[in-house]
Structure 1
Amino acid sequence: MALVGKLETEVEINTPADKFYKIFASQIMHLLPNVSSDKIQGVELHEGDWETAGSVKHWDYTLDRSSLSLKETVEAIDEENKTVTFQRFGWRNIEALQELQETEKTNGGSLGKWILDYEEVKDEIPAPQSYQDFAVNITEDLDAHLVNA
């Protein structure tokens, strides 16, 4: 039987919540391979458009020194709560739903929260912490880029 789990990670960033959220909710996402080229080699639109739930994107990326790819369906975009939910297909031995929630901080900047709900396809696979770490690393790379832009 496959293990079902949930990982949550918060990342403090200097970029305002609205600006950061819009990267993941719009076509500006194509910026990510330029910002994190050591982690993301490409993001292409596969079906739909860049800004609508139901759209499908194809990612080429590097994780744990392995070149990988996946398809992502945008499940939901919530402008009011600055939340984007993605269904990920093709991750190593897991099925996952990943969500980014952005919250404005009162003293400037914002707090990004990555939530990963997953089901392991094989029982012997450890919890997918490397995917959470990957999301945090991209968040930090993008924040540094936006602050210096």
Structure 2
Amino acid sequence: MGLKGKLISSVEVKCGGHLFHDILHAKTHHISNISPSKVKSFEIHEGETVDVGSIVQWTYNDDGKDKTCKQVIEAIDHETKTITWKVIGGDLLELYDSFTIISSCDHLWTTWTFLYEKKTEDTLEPLVFLAYVLHVTKEIENHLLK
């Protein structure tokens, strides 16, 4: 069994991928209001907006525990509505040597790709975190459909 992994999940979003991408890129700070039980806060530590090179931090609740995830924005492609978020600090790095999250949106789909390297062979695949991200995705979709 290898230490490197890749998980991909696509979910239909009836609100349209362009609106979902807009939330992730330009209105990211609203996600804690949209999904307050899951996302406690979003802060930009370096940079003024979610842009390439910006450093951001999420505080989130996972299974009743507050956790953090600090990321640098590695790439943004507005044409394909893709954002690459590389984890540089926080709880995920306790289990993984590296972790990158790629969000991409098209007409009716949002796709999440996790690229990661586990610290040990015994480390589980990040399926629980993927379920968490998909839950927040559905909450954002419900907000956008109101």
* TM-score (norm: length of structure 1): 0.90
Residues 2 and 121 of structure 1 are in contact (CA less than 8 Å); yes or no, is this contact kept in structure 2?
no
Corresponding residue for 2:105? Answer: 102
Specify the code of the residue in structure 2 equivalent to 1:71.
K
Query: Aligned residue for 2:16?
Result: 16
**Unaligned stretches of 5+ in structure 2?**
none
CA distance in 2, matches of 1:19, 1:143: 9
The CA distance in 2 between the partners of 1:51 and 1:96, in whole Å, is 19
Show the counterpart of 1:69: 68
Shift of 1:22: 1.3
Between the aligned partners of 1:66 and 1:120, the Cα distance in structure 2 is: 21
| TM-score normalised according to structure 2 size | 0.91
CA RMSD in angstroms comes to 1.5
Match of 2:118? 120
Tell me the SS of whatever aligns to 1:42.
strand
Match of 2:135 among 137, 142, 149: 137
State the one-letter code of the partner of 1:57: V
Q: Deviations over 1:73-112 (max 9, x none)?
A: 11110001111110013214112111111111xxxxx100
Runs of 4+ in 1 over 6 A off after TM superposition: none
| CA shift for structure 1 position 51 | 3.1
Alignment pair present for 1:44 and 2:46:
no
Count residues in correspondence.
142
Cα distance in 2 for residues equivalent to 1:41 and 1:3: 31
Structure 1: stretches of 5+ with no match in the other structure: 105-109
Offset of residue 145 of structure 1? 0.5
Identity over the aligned pairs, expressed in percent?
A: 27
Between stretches 41-50 and 1-10, larger displacement belongs to 1-10
Which of these residues, 83, 88, 95, is aligned with residue 93 of structure 1?
95
Structure 2 distance, partners of 1:124, 1:67, is: 24
